[in-house]
Amino acid sequence: MCLSIPSKVIEIDLERNVAKVDTMGVTREAGLELMEEGDVKIGDYVLLHIGFIMNKIDEEDAMESLKVYNEILEKLDEEDRKQMVIDDDNCENRGK
């Protein structure tokens, strides 16, 4: 399932053109190729799709979305919670 959970940029590697992001406690790298150079900065909230940062969102919208996701996660067991966040980067509906 593709959720586009807001992720916070915690590190940027310009040589590799990737950012390290935190998605509700899960860290991963995401490509910056689809963004304008210099547009993404540490502390920004972004949305990912298949391993690439697709766009930035403002902090207020990110916090509201994360609040809703946390409400959903509270209703799941721990394994399902972890899998939901991890699966966000492995969306099977690419291009559909």
Confidence (pLDDT) at 90: 60
> Using one digit for the tens of pLDDT, what is the confidence trace for 7-43?
999 999 999 999 999 998 889 999 999 999 999 999 9
Residue of 28, 23, 31, 32 whose CA lies nearest to 5 = 23
CA 30 → CA 10, 43, 45, 72, distances in Å?
11, 15, 12, 24
Confidence (pLDDT) at 43: 98
Residues of the domain holding 61: 7-87
Q: What is the CATH number of the domain that holds 13?
A: 2.30.30.140
Give backbone dihedrals phi and psi of 17, rounded to 5 degrees, phi first.
60, 45
Tally of structural domains, the chain: 1
Query: In the numeric block, which tokens belong to residue 17?
Result: 């053109």
Does residue 93 lie within any of the structural domains? Answer: no
> Using one digit for the tens of pLDDT, what is the confidence trace for 44-87?
999 998 899 999 999 999 999 999 988 887 887 777 767 776 77
